[in-house]
Structure 1
């Protein structure tokens, strides 16, 4: 084993050992800024502002519609019928499958492509590099509403000129989300890779690693927090979208967000809307996102704060 590989491994261990100490320093800085009693009060108020609406939604999902319409916070009668009815009345099963498939593919592809793109933009100098970086940043300021008609016209033209049906398909919706997710994911990875030391790459090149070897053996293992952040934000883009999904899909390819919107619109003319089923559907649709955050929480903290402290 060469000396450079040993130094490379020791550098990685030193970088990992610095993480707990940085966390302790940040906690001490927060305690110096705010007294502990005031900090407890602020945290309690913030938690109540987030948890009370969730508690109401959960209790309403176990209540009947007439009791919810009267404004009762505590359920009049506890029932799980709302959770059994949503699979038939809302059509949530098909919507969830389409949402997981489209949003998951968008997250994986955008995160994978953004790593290589960001590595080239950060580590190599070529004509147009600054223009591309400024373009990625400028694309974030364009509202998605303004892009609805151009994207629809371009994709619908594929049927006429190429004989390919894009509108109404799952992969067409995937391409739509990838159009907006990839610039953001690339910019997140550019910010993250700027904070990685070049010495690790130089040590790997001395050991004979190629450009792809450096990318897959050095950059990717060290960039997991940034990759997870870019992937989760891309997943949320596809999971929460209603505007593009309502235009680019058909009944067999609509997502869960569109199914909820259609269900809510169809019950507005009734005497009492199906409040309980709406609340139950909202909780079921929010569960995958919550589980995703709980699984990748430790990566999210490091990825979001990357580049903030040098």
Structure 2
């Protein structure tokens, strides 16, 4: 069916508006990060009168950005690795094993995605406080507490995604490996995981992004020593002024790990999401 001229132009206009909606804020962020603070505080101009890279140098001196970066990397990497590792085992059990309560377990995992994160903030804080009183293990303000907290929302999604992905893998592959003498665990490691690699990578990317940019839990469950990047960026604003150029520069630097990760695993990510049924 041939498209009409009117439809073609309408599509061009809509796509142009959508592109402008995405590109213009990015341009403002980049251009602001390259302006001196005096120009930023003045009347906004689309074209900077002076370009400088000093904000990208000053961001490391104004606040301990490297410490926040390291904290985020530790917490995000640990929660991602643990979530994916546990999810692989749980999802494989849901997809291949038949046990009592299997359906109820799947419903519980899926139902956790229905509630906003703020509902879990106070219960987690109280649980961490009670654990510290009972056994002396400090979870509030520690990396361990934040890792456990992030896993409360990354792990259920990972199990749900991977269970659907594992179910789409033909049983014959696994049965052939078991006929050759490989046990169920061996079949999982040698057959299922390599075949499910795109889905596992897609889930890992989701876990990493969710933990990397999380603000709500980190604002309550961290202290000066364990503060993460999303909370650390607030230090560029004080009661008297906001260092907008440094804030924009830091935002760009903070976004680089996610952008690089997307670029490296884009092919696997698209394949994994498509196979997992995410539209």
TM-score, with length taken from structure 1: 0.83
Provide the secondary structure at the position in 2 that maps to 1:305: helix
Which of 283-292 and 44-53 deviates more? 44-53
The change in CA–CA distance for 1:45 and 1:218 in structure 2 (over 3 A counts) is farther
Matched, 1:289 2:254: no
1:63–1:75 Cα contact (<8 Å) kept: yes
The aligned residue for residue 92 of structure 2 is: 119
| 1:251 alignment counterpart | 224
- Measured in 2, the distance between the counterparts of 1:262 and 1:192 equals 42
The aligned counterpart of 2:172 is 199
Whether contact under 8 Å (1:194, 1:307) holds in the other structure is no
Name stretches of at least 5 consecutive residues in structure 2 with no aligned partner.
none
Residue of 205, 208, 212 corresponding to 2:185: 212
Alpha-carbon distance, 1:50 to partner: 2.1
Deviations 1:148-190 (A, max 9, x none): 0000110111111001111111121111111221111111101
Alignment partners' CA distance in 2, 1:100 and 1:262: 19
Q: Which residue of 2 aligns with 1:269?
A: 240
User: Are 1:177 and 2:150 counterparts?
Assistant: yes
Query: 4+ runs of 1 displaced by more than 4 Å?
Result: 35-45
Cα offset for 1:103? Answer: 0.5
Partners of 2:236 and 2:243 within 8 A in 1: no
SS at match of 1:261: helix
Q: Which residue of 1 aligns with 2:137?
A: 164
Q: Which moved more, 1:168-177 or 1:41-50?
A: 41-50
Q: Secondary structure at the match of 1:241?
A: coil
Distance 1:246-1:308 versus aligned 2 partners, 3 A rule: closer
Unaligned ranges ≥5, structure 1: 1-30
Q: How many Å separate the matches in 2 of 1:187 and 1:132? A: 11
Pick the aligned partner of 1:300 from 266, 269, 272: 269
The structure 1 residue matched to 2:111, chosen from 132, 138, 142, is: 138
CA contact (8 A) 1:107 1:234 kept: yes
**Partners in 1 of 2:272 and 2:151 — Cα distance?**
21
Match of 2:275, SS?
Answer: coil
Q: Aligned Cα RMSD in Å? A: 1.9
TM-score for both structures, normalised by structure 2? 0.92
Q: CA deviation at 1:117?
A: 0.7
Task: Tell me the number of residue pairs that the alignment of Structure 1 and Structure 2 aligns.
Answer: 272
Distance in 1 between the 2:218 and 2:18 partners?
Answer: 33
DSSP-derived class of the 1:72 partner? coil
Superposition deviation, residue 65 in structure 1: 2.5
Pick closer, same or farther for the CA change 1:214–1:45 going to 2, 3 Å: farther
SS at the partner of 1:74?
coil
Q: Is the 2:162–2:276 contact (alpha carbons within 8 Å) kept by the matching residues of 1? A: no
Distance 2:15 2:181 in 1: 51
Corresponding residue to 1:221 among 184, 190, 194: 194
- After TM superposition, list the pairs within 5 Å mapping 1:66-145 onto structure 2: 66-69=38-41, 70-145=43-118
Moved more, 113-122 or 84-93: 84-93
In 1, the alpha carbon distance for the partners of 2:83 and 2:247 equals 32
Cα contact 1:111–1:230 (8 A) shared by 2: yes
Q: Is the 8 A contact 1:111 1:228 kept in 2?
A: no
Per the TM alignment, residue 84 of structure 1 is displaced from its structure 2 partner at its CA by 1.0
Identify if the C-alpha distance between structure 1 residues 215 and 105 changes in structure 2 by more than 3 Å, giving closer, same or farther.
same
Q: Would you say 1:63 and 2:32 are equivalent positions?
A: no
**Against the structure 1 CA distance between its residues 115 and 88, is the aligned structure 2 distance closer, same or farther, given a 3 Å change threshold?**
same
2:120 equivalent in structure 1: 147
